[in-house]
């Protein structure tokens, strides 16, 4: 570590003011502070409330995402071999599945970071401001919400759109009004719908000589099956809890998401109010569907409440997307309202509108836009209550 520190100190004058590479000063500063404790604290941004540096905050979130990434790699391999009728047991060929998944997933992660951080470096060099480390998390979230067969060029386009249109046009990290990773997902979903939805994109079915996909394999997600009238084919509650089902790379495992939630809550990074209220909102909408489902003869509505929440990316959105401190509500009361409506709308959209079987993406993006309005009315209500108390005291 001392040798690395000496090396960095040796080249530092080149990037300092008056140095040959002065224009790249903030790029060097970002790399230096990533390797070592920064010599300055974050001064602005909607999600920093104390002396902690933004890089440390982002590092904790990335740590919380690692269980989802690792499980996603294994599940990609498991679903692939399941499609071929090989190693069908969850405990069969663990390393074969993990290696296959890693080979498929890591290039997506590399492209996401390469394109996104490359654009960040360009912006900070031309605008002369420090690297805005928010993309350290977005660069990991984007691959985790993608289908495994998403072409790398699409990942690059989505990452570029998210950084430029979703963040930089609003002023950079801490200024964006919608979640950056979901901006990339939504853009690709609407720009290339046939390559981001359907039954063909969730499981890699590439075969080698002498191999073929087993008869009857569809590749559809549980939510896709339920939305098309095949709720009886949805994976079991335990499989949905562990995440052993087709879906986006890192979204399927509620268990991995809960590990991440524990990390965020213990470190104080994530909001327990938002997490709990999203869960309660989803539970409430599921309960309503359970009550009316039998009368409407709708099997999808009759999926048990807890099972409904375990399916798809509900828990991933609950833990990592809804709690985004930039785009979420900021007041305590506002967080309860914001989170509850996300959970409520996510289940409503996924069940009522088969065109959007997931629902979580649209619910969070919609509530991102509504969050400032929620906070406004919460603050105004507090002002009116205090004014009323003052008038009573002076009467």
pLDDT, tens only, 325-351:
889 999 999 999 999 999 999 999 999
DSSP H helical ranges for 243-304 = 254-266, 272-296
Q: How many domains does the chain have?
A: 1
pLDDT, one tens digit per residue, over 128-161 is: 666 666 788 999 999 999 999 999 999 999 999 9
- Our measurement of the distance from residue 251's CA atom to the centroid of its chain's CA atoms, rounded to an integer in Å, reads 8
Separation CA 276–CA 267 (nearest Å): 17
Cα–Cα distance list, 34 to 31, 126, 161, 263, 264 (Å): 5, 21, 25, 20, 20
DSSP 8-state symbol, 319? I
Whether residue 47 is predicted with pLDDT greater than 50 in this model: the reply is no
Whether residue 54 is predicted with pLDDT greater than 70 in this model: the reply is no
Structure tokens at 136: 């350290």
Cβ neighbours of residue 56 under 8 Å, at least 6 residues apart?
none
Quote the domain boundaries for residue 97: 54-206+219-382
Question: What's the pLDDT at 198?
Answer: 79
- Among 182, 177, 180, smallest CA distance to 328 is for 177
Question: What's the pLDDT at 362?
Answer: 92
pLDDT, one tens digit per residue, over 237-266 is: 999 999 999 999 999 999 999 999 999 999
In a domain, 318, yes or no: yes
- Among 84, 72, 2, 75, smallest CA distance to 35 is for 2
Terminal-to-terminal C-alpha distance of the chain: 68
Of 193 and 210, the structure prediction assigns the larger pLDDT to 193
Is residue 209 within 8 Å of residue 171, measured between CB atoms?
no
Question: What's the pLDDT at 23?
Answer: 53
Separation CA 315–CA 358 (nearest Å): 12
**% of the chain with per-residue pLDDT over 70:** 82
DSSP 8-state symbol, 40? S
- Residue 129 sits in a domain whose CATH number is 1.10.3430
Separation CA 50–CA 41 (nearest Å): 9
Reported as a pLDDT band with limits 50, 70 and 90, residue 50 is: very low
């Amino acid at each position: 570590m001392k040798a690395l520190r000496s090396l960095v100190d040796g080249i530092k004058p080149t990037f300092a003011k008056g140095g040959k590479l002065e224009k790249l000063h903030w790029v060097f500063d970002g790399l230096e502070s990533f390797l070592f404790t920064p010599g300055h604290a974050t001064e602005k941004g909607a999600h920093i409330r104390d002396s902690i540096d933004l890089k440390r905050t982002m590092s904790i979130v990335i740590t919380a995402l690692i269980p989802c990434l690792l499980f996603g790699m294994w599940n990609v391999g498991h679903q692939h071999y399941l499609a071929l009728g090989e190693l069908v047991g969850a405990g069969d060929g663990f390393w074969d599945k993990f290696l296959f998944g890693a080979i498929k997933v890591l290039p997506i992660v590399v492209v996401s970071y390469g394109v996104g951080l490359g654009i960040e470096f360009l912006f900070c060099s031309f605008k002369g401001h420090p690297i805005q480390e928010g993309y350290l998390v977005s660069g990991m979230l984007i691959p985790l919400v993608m289908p495994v067969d998403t072409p790398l060029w699409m990942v690059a386009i989505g990452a570029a759109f998210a950084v430029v249109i979703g963040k930089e046009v609003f002023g950079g990290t801490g200024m964006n009004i919608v979640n950056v990773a979901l901006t990339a997902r939504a853009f690709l979903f609407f720009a290339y719908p046939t390559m981001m939805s359907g039954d063909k994109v969730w499981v890699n079915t590439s075969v080698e000589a002498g191999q073929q996909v087993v008869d009857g394999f569809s590749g559809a997600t549980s939510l896709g099956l339920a939305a098309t009238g095949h709720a009886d084919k949805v994976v079991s509650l335990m499989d949905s809890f562990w995440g052993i089902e087709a879906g986006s790379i890192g979204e399927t495992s509620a268990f991995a998401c809960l590990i991440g939630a524990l990390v965020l809550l213990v470190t104080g990074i994530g909001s327990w109010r938002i997490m709990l209220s999203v869960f309660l909102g989803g539970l409430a909408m599921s309960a309503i569907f359970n009550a009316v489902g039998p009368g409407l003869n709708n099997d999808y509505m009759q999926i048990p409440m807890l099972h409904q929440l375990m399916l798809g990316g509900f828990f991933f959105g609950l833990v990592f997307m809804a709690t985004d401190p930039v785009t979420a509500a900021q007041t305590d009361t506002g967080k309860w309202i914001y989170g509850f409506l996300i959970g409520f709308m996510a289940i409503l959209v996924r069940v009522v509108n088969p065109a959007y079987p997931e629902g979580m993406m649209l619910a969070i993006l919609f509530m991102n836009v509504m969050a400032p309005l929620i906070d406004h009315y919460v603050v105004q209500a507090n002002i009116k209550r205090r004014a009323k108390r003052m008038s009573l005291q002076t009467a």
